[in-house]
Amino acid sequence: MSGPPTRDAAPGGGRGPRPPSGRPGAERLLRHLRRSPLLPVAEKVAAGERLSCEDGLALFATTDLTGLGRMANFVREARHGNRGYYNVNRYLNPTNLCWVDCGLCAWARLPGVPGGYTMAVEEAVAEASAGWHDGITEIHVVGGLHPTLPYDYYPGLLRALKARFPGVHLKAWTMVELDWIARIGKRDLVEVIRDLKAAGMDSCPGGGAEIFAKRVRDVICANKISGERWLEVARLCHLEGVPTNVTMLYGSVEDDAERVDHLLRIRELQDETGGFLGLIPLAFHPEGTQLAHLPPSTGLLDLKAVAVSRLLLDNVDHVKAYWVQIGEKLAQAALHFGADDLVGTVTEETITHAAGATTEAGISRAGMEALIRGAGREPFERDAFYERVVRDGSGRVLRANRHDFVPAGTAPPGGAALPSHPGSGLDTALASS
């Protein structure tokens, strides 16, 4: 792996005790950790100091899980109080055809393999309309790297979704997909980002970051863009005014140092651009993948990944606990280990479920609020920019995403959904061309 960024301060150890910063709860935190090997790190946390690579390694290696959780919770509550954020979103996966064939992926299909599908634009819009409920405020669009879809498909899909759902935030295309769209379109990446932004791309999902270290990518996603390229695409999005999310896929073949390196590279880019909205730690699900021989993540690692992310990423506002992947109960616990956001209601999740997730493929708004309340947090329905979604008494969205909501985007669409899965529409046409 390449070395971690070194702009951070010295490790927690090797210095005299620091006074607590006077931040509420700092003295209590230090009292709780006074006999913990993590005390030097806790002193930095209490004083609001940036943690180093060595601190990150100590946090991942610790057996003091409660001390780690207390530190992460201290930072989380200082930033977000008792709020537990969520949003009401829908997933849309326009195609699962992908030539990349990542070892980590149980969802995509190589072209020609049974189970592959691609939606024509009108099919994708119909699919987004199906299952419309609870006044969705965001559509999350990701798919495979389709070998033959034309460039115009991508802005065309965004324009069609915006026309159908004018008030809804479109979080579309990962950095991996943006790189691919530029390649198939033979266009400069900045031009692509501008085209897609003009067509309705409001922000981008954080997928495909995995672990940036080449040693890990060579095993889990050898044909995917490099970690350096992923960060470069994110940088260009941020510079073009498109905020993005970022993920960390943990629990496959990476070690602690590679996780810390991943987080510090995110922190370094965030220092430069401020464009990351939040980090989503993703637990690797081996079932159905080429790496099915690997054991699944443990609850211990799930909580550590959330807590260490919260502590190292002092410049990223939100650390999320993805309930679909780690389960509802552990996600509740994660709200006390540094996470502030349970992501969303995620109507129609398919990608993690293809790899064996046993959670529901979606949850209602009421169910999400009950989950957050059950964890002792106060539910806060956010929009894409973490502002409160305003609804009327019947649940109809009145305001989200920095504008008054367009009613056409909140009513259940009429008409029957078009067919949208294997063998439909576009792939049939492509196969016969």
Residues that bind ligand SF4 (CB under 6 A): 98, 100-102, 105, 107-108, 144-145, 176, 221, 224
Report the alpha-carbon angle 143-127-319, nearest 5. Answer: 50
- List strand residue ranges (DSSP E) for 251-396, in order: 276-283, 318-319, 341-344, 378-381, 390-391
Q: Least distance from C-beta 99 to ligand SF4, angstroms?
A: 8
**Least distance in angstroms from the C-beta of 173 to ligand SF4:** 12
Which residues contact residue 247 at a Cβ distance below 8 angstroms, ignoring those fewer than 6 apart? 206, 207, 208, 209, 210, 279, 280, 281, 282
- The residue (of 100 and 324) whose beta carbon lies closer to ligand SF4 is 100
Q: Mapping DSSP to helix (H, G, I), strand (E, B) and coil, where does residue 244 land?
A: strand
Please say which residue, 180 or 405, places its beta carbon nearer to ligand SF4.
180
Residue type, 218: D
Nearest-CA neighbor of 397 among 137, 213, 189, 146?
A: 137
Measured CA to CA, the distance from residue 236 to residue 233 in angstroms comes to 5
Strands 397-400 and 341-344, sheet pairing: unpaired
- Pairing label, strands 397-400, 403-404: antiparallel
Rank residues 53 and 225 by Cβ distance to ligand SF4 and give the closer one.
Answer: 225
Least Cβ distance, residue 235 to ligand SF4 (angstroms): 20
Report d(CA 170, CA 425) in Å as an integer. Answer: 23
CB of 102 to ligand SF4, least distance (A): 3
Q: Is residue 13 within 8 Å of residue 42, measured between CB atoms?
A: no
Cβ-based nearer residue to ligand SF4, 114 or 393 = 114
- What are φ and ψ of residue 390, in 5° steps? -100, 125
Which of 71, 102 has the CB closer to ligand SF4?
102
Residue nearer to ligand SF4 on the CB measure, 99 or 151:
99
- For the bound state, the minimum distance from the C-beta of residue 422 to ligand SF4, rounded and expressed in Å, comes to 16
Q: In the complex, what is the shortest distance from the CB of residue 174 to ligand SF4, in angstroms, rounded to a whole number?
A: 8
Nearer to ligand SF4 among residue 42 and residue 119 (C-beta): 119
- How near is the Cβ of 220 to ligand SF4 at its closest, in Å? 9
User: In this structure, how many other beta carbons lie within 10 angstroms of the beta carbon of residue 340?
Assistant: 27
